[in-house]
């Protein structure tokens, strides 16, 4: 059975999280609930920031864009999976798979870059407080978001370009609930693994550089905080970046954990279950982290609720 080019493959089969028919209604209800919480929670963050003039600052401008990216990140995978469960169909077209993969990598990279931009914002606020408003002016903030988006678009396009050149055997079952690029590479037949090496090199660049920027920013932040003489001053300085640090640890910790475990695991189904953590759980928890740990957000939400009532 010879290989055929991906462009000749008309469809894929997404194997999902479980083959047990009795679990399907439970999975549908669970993921519908998590998806609604994710979308409504992030929309509430965006509405709260846009409606309160006290939150019209660079930090919350970046947070609203992060919430928007989280909605897009979750919406690329969960609605399709719920439709598959409801219709008892696991088929996804070649174009649909490539489109889903493109948007998944787009919003995933955008999340990573926005977290890097937010780390830079905290670095300027703590290490250069007197020049903060001059450095983080509206033009620079808008430019940083636009650059992050176009870099993510480039990353997504490179992924699609590489995947479109792959060759596959006749077996086109994807042991996942969405078109994960790593799963497509596992299904591919490589005569020379140039594309595989190139894909992971690109992922290392676009994922490693933002993480390096975040680590460098927090190295400078911690060094600056340690020079503060009073304990109260140290706590106040660190509390301004506590929520962001929690989200960074959650996003990179779960993402790296899943991909590192998939490298040594021989169970694709277990990998797909683990990937739920960073594709669904992390975007769902982000609004709770920022609303529960951030006094400004909580106060603004209370004002918004009072105006609504």
C-alpha span between 281 and 170 (Å, rounded): 34
Question: Is 229 exposed, middle or buried, given 0-12, 13-18 or 19+ CB atoms closer than 10 A?
Answer: exposed
Note the pLDDT of residue 104.
92
Mean pLDDT of the chain: 83
224: pLDDT strictly greater than 70: yes
Express each pLDDT in 155-197 by its tens digit: 899 888 887 776 665 557 778 888 887 777 777 665 445 555 6
Note the pLDDT of residue 177.
84
Instruction: Give SS3 for 176.
Output: coil
Average pLDDT over residues 88-96: 84
Instruction: Among 201-205, 242-246, 297-301, name the one with the lowest average pLDDT.
Output: 201-205
Average pLDDT over residues 240-246: 83
280: pLDDT strictly greater than 80: yes
Model confidence at 246, pLDDT cuts 50, 70, 90, reads confident
Beta strand 173-174 with 11-14 is parallel
Q: What are phi and psi of 266, to 5 degrees?
A: -115, 20
Model confidence at 142, pLDDT cuts 50, 70, 90, reads very high
CA torsion angle 29 35 38 43 (round to 10): -120
Model confidence at 63, pLDDT cuts 50, 70, 90, reads very high
Burial 121-130 (b: 16+ CB within 10 A, else e): bbbbbbbeee
Express each pLDDT in 207-220 by its tens digit: 788 888 999 999 99
Note the pLDDT of residue 65.
95
Segments of the chain assigned E as strands: 4-5, 11-14, 91-93, 167-168, 173-174
Cβ atoms of 135 and 181 within 8 Å: the answer is no
Model confidence at 6, pLDDT cuts 50, 70, 90, reads very low
Note the pLDDT of residue 256.
76
Among candidate residues 257, 31, 218, the one with its CA nearest the CA of residue 226: 218
Question: Is 2 exposed, middle or buried, given 0-12, 13-18 or 19+ CB atoms closer than 10 A?
Answer: exposed
16 in the Ramachandran plot: left (φ > 0), alpha (ψ -120 to 50) or beta?
Answer: left
C-alpha span between 151 and 110 (Å, rounded): 8
67: pLDDT strictly greater than 80: yes
Which of residues 52 and 6 earns the better pLDDT score?
A: 52
Q: What are phi and psi of 169, to 5 degrees?
A: -80, 175
Note the pLDDT of residue 5.
43
252: pLDDT strictly greater than 60: yes
235: pLDDT strictly greater than 50: yes
Note the pLDDT of residue 8.
57
C-alpha span between 98 and 247 (Å, rounded): 28
Task: Tell me, rounded to whole angstroms, the distance of Cα 265 from its chain centroid.
Answer: 23
> Highest-confidence range of 107-116, 219-228, 297-306, by mean pLDDT?
107-116
Among candidate residues 92, 112, 105, 207, the one with its CA nearest the CA of residue 161: 105
76: pLDDT strictly greater than 70: yes
């Amino acid at each position: 059975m010879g290989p055929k080019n991906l462009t000749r493959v008309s469809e894929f089969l997404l194997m999902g999280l479980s083959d047990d028919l009795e679990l399907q209604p439970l999975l549908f209800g669970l993921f519908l609930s998590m998806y609604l919480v994710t979308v409504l929670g992030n929309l509430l963050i965006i509405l709260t920031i846009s409606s309160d003039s006290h939150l019209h600052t660079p930090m919350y401008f970046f947070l609203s864009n992060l919430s928007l990216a989280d909605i897009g990140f979750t919406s690329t995978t969960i609605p399709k999976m719920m439709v598959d469960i409801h219709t008892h169909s696991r088929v996804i077209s070649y174009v649909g798979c490539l489109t889903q993969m493109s948007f998944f990598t787009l919003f995933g990279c955008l999340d990573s870059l926005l977290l890097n931009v937010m780390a830079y914002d905290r670095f300027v606020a703590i290490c250069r407080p007197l020049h903060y408003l001059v450095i983080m002016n509206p033009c620079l903030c808008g430019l940083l978001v636009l650059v992050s988006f176009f870099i993510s678009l480039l990353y997504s396009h490179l992924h699609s370009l590489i995947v479109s050149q792959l060759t596959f055997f006749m077996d086109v079952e994807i042991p996942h609930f969405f078109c994960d690029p790593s799963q497509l590479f596992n299904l591919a037949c490589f005569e020379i693994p140039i594309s595989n090496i190139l894909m992971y090199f690109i992922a290392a660049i676009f994922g490693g550089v933002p993480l390096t920027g975040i680590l460098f920013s927090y190295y400078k932040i911690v060094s600056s905080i340690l020079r503060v003489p009073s304990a109260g001053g140290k706590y106040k300085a660190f509390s301004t970046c506590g929520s962001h640090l929690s989200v960074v640890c959650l996003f990179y910790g779960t993402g790296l954990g899943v991909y590192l475990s998939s490298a040594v695991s021989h169970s694709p189904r277990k990998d797909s279950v683990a990937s739920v953590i960073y594709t669904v759980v992390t975007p769902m928890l982000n609004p709770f982290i920022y609303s529960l740990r951030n006094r400004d957000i909580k106060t603004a939400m209370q004002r918004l609720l009072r105006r609504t009532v």
